[in-house]
Chains A and B, each alone.
Chain A
Amino acid sequence: MAAAARNPRKVSASCMGRRRRRVDRGAAVGALPEAIAALSRTLPAGPSPEIFRRAKFDRPEAAPALWQLLFRVLSPLSANGASAPPAQEAQVRVVKSELHSQGYPRRALAQLPEDGSQGSRELLLALAWLLARGPLLERLLAQTRVRLGDEIPLCECEALARPGPPVPRVEADGPVDVRHLQWLMGKLRFQWRKLITSQQEQCALLGKIHSYTRGCHSDRSLGHLSVAETELLRDAEGGQQLLRRLESENVRLEAALHWRRQELVFWRWMDTVLGTCPPEASQPTFVPRIPERGAGEWELVARELQALQEELRGAAEPRRAAWEARVGGWGPEWSAVRRASREAVGLELAALQRAWERGGAAAQPHGPCRLVKSDAGASGGPGLRAAQAIEVLRSREACLEAVLCQLQRQCRQELARLAGALPGLIWILPPGR
C-alpha cells in the first residue's frame, strides 16, 4: 500500500547516480553505530557497537557478551532475582531451548558449543530475529517497569505466562496414598482462605493510605499518593533508589524511541550479515515429537472436544429425526423461512468462532491497572471504573463456576456408573450445598 509511495524515492535515489549513493552510504555509516548504541542502551546488559561489528565477522571474542545478552532477554525474570546468574553452560542451554520453542528456524544455533566460546554471528542473527518478530523492546521494558502506583492485574494472563522462580523440589518418587492427595488439597484450600484474608487487610490499608494522602499528588488525575510514593517520603534512602531506577528507566525509554527512529539502517546492515553466512544444507525431516508437558495439555483438550462432540451428536441426532418426521410433508413455501433461519444461525456461529480465534473480547480490560481512590466515579474521564471491573469479574466467576459444576457432575455420573457395577452397596451422598 504505502510501499508504492516510497518507491519513487528509491528510484530517484538510484537515478541520481553514484555520487548520491555514496553520500547515502556515508550517512548510513555514521547512523549505524548510533542506532546500535541506542539499541544497546535499551536492552539489559547491552553490549557495545564494537561487539556487534565483530559479531558480523563471527569473531569469537564477541560471543560471550551476546550469549549473556540473549540469556537476559529470553529469561528476564530469573535474571532479575537476587541470585547470581547461572553458569555459562546453563545459560547457553536456556537460550537454545527458548529460541527453539519460539520457532527459531536456523539449525546452526543448536550446534554451537556449550562453553559459549563461539557463534557470535549466529547469536546476532538470533537477536535480530527476536527483534523483528514482535515488540521485544517494549515487552522487556514493561516487564521491568518501575511501579509507581498501587497496581492490580485485572486479568491473570501475566501471572500465568510468567513461570515463577523454579523451586528446587525433591520429587516424591514413591507411590503415595490417596490420603496424601486429600491432605494436599486441604492445604491448598486453607492457603487460599488465608490469601483472601490477607488481601482484604491489604485493601483496607490501601484505602486508608489513599484517603490520608488526598490532595497531595501533583498530578490531579491521581489525586493521592500511592504506597510507593508515600514510602519514598518516609524513607529517604529508599526514595533515592526509586528515583535512580526511575531515571535509568527514562534513559532506556528515550533510547528505545531513538532506536525506533533509526532502526532501518540496522535492518539493512543485518541483510548484509545474513549474506555473509554460508547457506545451511537442507536437513532430513525429523520424526515429529511433542513435548512432554505439551502432550498432557493436548490430551486434555482432545478428550474434552471428543466428549463435547459425543454430547452434541446425542442431542442433535434425535432432534433432526423428530424434525424430519414432522416437517417431511411441508411444502416449498417454508423453504424461504428455513433459508433465513440457516443464515441467521450461520452468522451467530461465525461470531462465536471469532470470539476465540481473535483472542477473546477486546473490550475486556487487560493488563495491570493503577488504583486510584476517587469520589468522582460517575463522571466521565480517563480510567476504568471499579464497578465495571467487578461486573466483568462476576460474569467470569459465574462462567467458571458453571464449568466446575459441570465437571463435577460428569465425575459423579462416571463414578455412579462404576459403582453401580458392584451390587450390594448403598451409596449415601453427602448433603448438598
Chain B
Amino acid sequence: MLPADCSRRLVAELRDALDACAERQRQLERSLRVSRRLLRTWEPAETPAPQPTPAPETSGEAPSPESTPSPQDLKELELLTQALEKAVRVRKGISKTGERHKALSLKSGSAATSATTASAPSRASSQASCRVSETKPPRGIQQTVVPARGLPECRLLSVGDRTRMGRGSRATKPGPGPRDQQIPPSAALQAPEAFTLKEKGILLRLPMAYRKAASRNSRLWAQLSSTQTSDSVDAAATAKTQFLQKMQMTSGGPGSGLSAAAMEAEVGLLRTACLLLRRRMEEVLSADPADCMQEYRCLLTLEGLQAITEQCLHRLQELRAAVVGQQLGPWPVGRRPGASLPCGGGTDPIWSPQLLLYSSTQELQTLEALRLRVAMLDQQIHLEKVLMAELLPLVGTQGPHWLALCRAVHSLLCEGGERFLTVLRDEPAD
C-alpha cells in the first residue's frame, strides 16, 4: 500500500484526468445525438410547419423582389398553415366520397390558381404548371379562407411543394425534377412525407430573419475586433492606465506584490522555456560537428543554454519570494495545473472564429484525431511528471513488497501502464 497522502494526491490527479476526458465524451455524445437525428428522416413536426423559406434559387432565376415578412405575417402564416393541414385532413376524410366535389372545386379554383401561380415570382414557370394539378385542391380551400394574400400564399406554395416534391420525385437526384403527373389528386391530399437531408438537403434555405441576424452579428463582431485607434480610444486607454496607477497608490499594500495568477502564468512560461531549452540541447548533442568551427559553436550553444537555464532558475526563486501571502480569504480553488501552453494566451486574441477549410471527410478525421492525440499526450506528460515526483521516492526507500512496487512503478512510469517487466531471482546453481 502507498502512503495515505501520496495516495490521495495521485488518485486526485488521475480522477481529474478521467473527469476531463468524461466531460469531452459528454459534449461529443451531445453533438453526435444531434447529428444523427439530422441525418435520419425528419419527423413531420406537430407544431406548425417550419419557417417558410424563399423558393430555392437553384433554377438560376433572378431572386424575387419579395418583401421580408414581418413577425406579424409569420404568425399569421403559421395559423394559415395549421388551417391548411387541418383542411387536408378534413379533405382526406371526404375525398373518398366526394370525388365529384373535388372536380368542381378544381374548376372553380383553376382560374384563381393560375393567377396566383403566375404571380409566384420565384417559381420556374414549367414547374408551376406541372404542379398546378396537385396544388389545386388545397388552393380551392385557400380561396375561401383568405381572399387575396399574394405573399403568404406563394410562401405556402413553397412549403407545401417542398414536402410534396419528396413524394413526387422517385430519383434521389436533388432538385425539383419533372412532376409525376400520374399521381391521383387524392394522393395529393396525404400528409406531407418525411424529409431526409440526403435527398432534399440541398433545397433548404435559411429564414430571412436568421440571415439578417447572423450577418449583423458577424458585422458587429468584426467592428468589435477591429483595433482601430482614434482619439477617443487613446484617451480612454490613458485614463484607464491612470486609474490603475491611482488604485495601486491608494491601496495600502506593497505595490510589487505578485498575484497568484501572474505567478502561475510565469511558471507556465518557464515550463515552456525548459522544454525549448531541452529540445535545443538535444539537437546540439545529436548533431555531428563537421569541423572545428562547428564544434566551437556547439560548445558555445551549450554554454549559452546553461546560462539561460540558470537565469530561469534564478527567476523561479524570485517568483517564490515575491508572492505575497494573505491572512484572509481562501486561495482560489479548482485551478487546474495545465499542461504546457505554447500559445501563451496570444497577444491579439481573435474574438470570433476564423474559417478552417477542409476538403474531405478523411482530412477532417485526421485533423480531429491529431488534435485529440495532442491533448492526450499533454495529459500523459503531466501525469508522468506527477507520478514520477510521487512514486520514485517510494521506490528509493525499500519497504515491504518492494519488488512488486518496483515492477508496478516501472510499468506505470516507463511503459505507460501497458507492459510489465519480469523479475527473476537469480538462484546460484548448487
Contact = CB atoms under 8 A, between A and B. Distances in A.
B375 A156 contact: yes
A298 B306 contact: no
Interface in A99-116: 100-107, 110-111
Contacts of B414: 408, 411-412, 415
Given A105-B248, A308-B278, A301 B316 contact: yes
B45 to A, nearest CB: 6
A167 B23 CA distance: 11
Interface residues of B, number: 221
Contacts of A402: 279, 282
B252 A399 contact: no
A103 B347 CA distance: 20
B14 A185 contact: yes
B38 A386 contact: no
Contacts of B327: 286
Interface string B382-426: 011111110110011000000111101111111111111111111
Interface string A161-173: 1011011010111
B359 A377 contact: yes
B18 A191 contact: yes
A344 B297 CA distance: 9
A93 B330 contact: yes
A27 B69 CA distance: 41
Contacts of B279: 399, 402
Nearest to B413: A411
B83 interface: no
A132 to B, nearest CB: 4
A293 B13 CA distance: 12
Interface string B180-213: 0000000000000000011001111111011101
Given A230-B38, A408-B414, A425-B423, A107 B15 contact: no
A125 interface: yes
Interface string B217-242: 10011011100010111111011111
Contacts of B396: 418
Interface in A143-168: 145-146, 148-149, 151-157, 159-161, 163-164, 166-167
B357 A163 contact: no
A313 B269 CA distance: 23
Contact of A214 (B202, B254, B275, B415): B202
A15 to B, nearest CB: 19
A303 interface: yes
A373 B359 contact: yes
Contact of B363 (A282, A358, A386): A386
Contact of B235 (A195, A246, A264): A264
B370 interface: yes
B1 A176 contact: yes
A356 to B, nearest CB: 4
B329 interface: yes
Interface string A286-305: 11111111101111111111
Contacts of B101: none
B204 A160 contact: no
Given A175-B1, A203-B361, A309-B310, A227 B262 contact: no
A368 B221 CA distance: 15
Contact of A138 (B301, B351, B378, B408): B351
Nearest to B36: A205
Contacts of A133: 244
B259 to A, nearest CB: 3
B246 interface: yes
Contact of A415 (B2, B38, B406): B406
A202 interface: yes
Nearest to A200: B365
A376 B358 CA distance: 9
A223 to B, nearest CB: 10
Contact of B267 (A203, A215, A298): A298
A316 B301 CA distance: 9
A29 interface: no
Interface string A247-268: 1011001101100110110011
A304 B280 contact: no
Which 7 A/B pairs are nearest by Cβ-Cβ distance?
A: A359-B344, A103-B259, A383-B355, A289-B325, A207-B361, A212-B201, A280-B252
B367 interface: yes
B220 A253 contact: yes
B50 interface: yes
B201 A319 contact: no
A357 B2 CA distance: 40
B226 to A, nearest CB: 10
B426 A425 contact: yes
Interface in B327-384: 327-339, 341-361, 363-378, 380-381, 383-384
19 contacts: A3-B238, A131-B240, A156-B374, A163-B334, A176-B10, A182-B408, A184-B15, A185-B416, A205-B35, A205-B39, A212-B198, A216-B206, A290-B323, A308-B277, A345-B301, A377-B358, A389-B367, A397-B377, A419-B406
Contacts of A374: 357-359
Contact of B409 (A154, A410, A415): A415
Given A3-B238, A227-B38, A285-B324, A370 B353 contact: yes
A369 B381 contact: no
B353 A293 contact: no
Given A315-B302, A370-B354, A424-B425, A359 B359 contact: no
B132 to A, nearest CB: 27
A338 B297 CA distance: 9
Given A205-B36, A428-B423, A152 B316 contact: no
A253 to B, nearest CB: 4
A207 B367 CA distance: 13
Contacts of A414: 392
A208 interface: yes
Given A104-B259, A411-B410, 12 more contacts: A106-B250, A172-B11, A178-B391, A182-B411, A195-B25, A219-B215, A234-B42, A271-B243, A341-B296, A352-B308, A390-B370, A408-B413
Contact of B357 (A93, A167, A298, A384): A384
A32 B146 CA distance: 53
B270 interface: yes
A271 B244 CA distance: 10
B148 interface: no
B276 interface: yes
Interface stretch (A48-56, A63-71, A235-243): A235-243
B299 interface: yes
A161 B345 CA distance: 9
A176 B264 CA distance: 30
Contact of A359 (B205, B347, B391): B347
A320 B298 CA distance: 10
Interface string B36-63: 1111001001011111010000100000
A182 B412 contact: yes
A225 B24 CA distance: 24
Given A155-B343, A234-B50, A384 B273 contact: no
Contact of B345 (A151, A157, A412): A157
Contacts of A125: 247
A193 to B, nearest CB: 10
A164 to B, nearest CB: 5
A105 to B, nearest CB: 4
B367 to A, nearest CB: 5
Contact of B313 (A154, A216, A305): A305
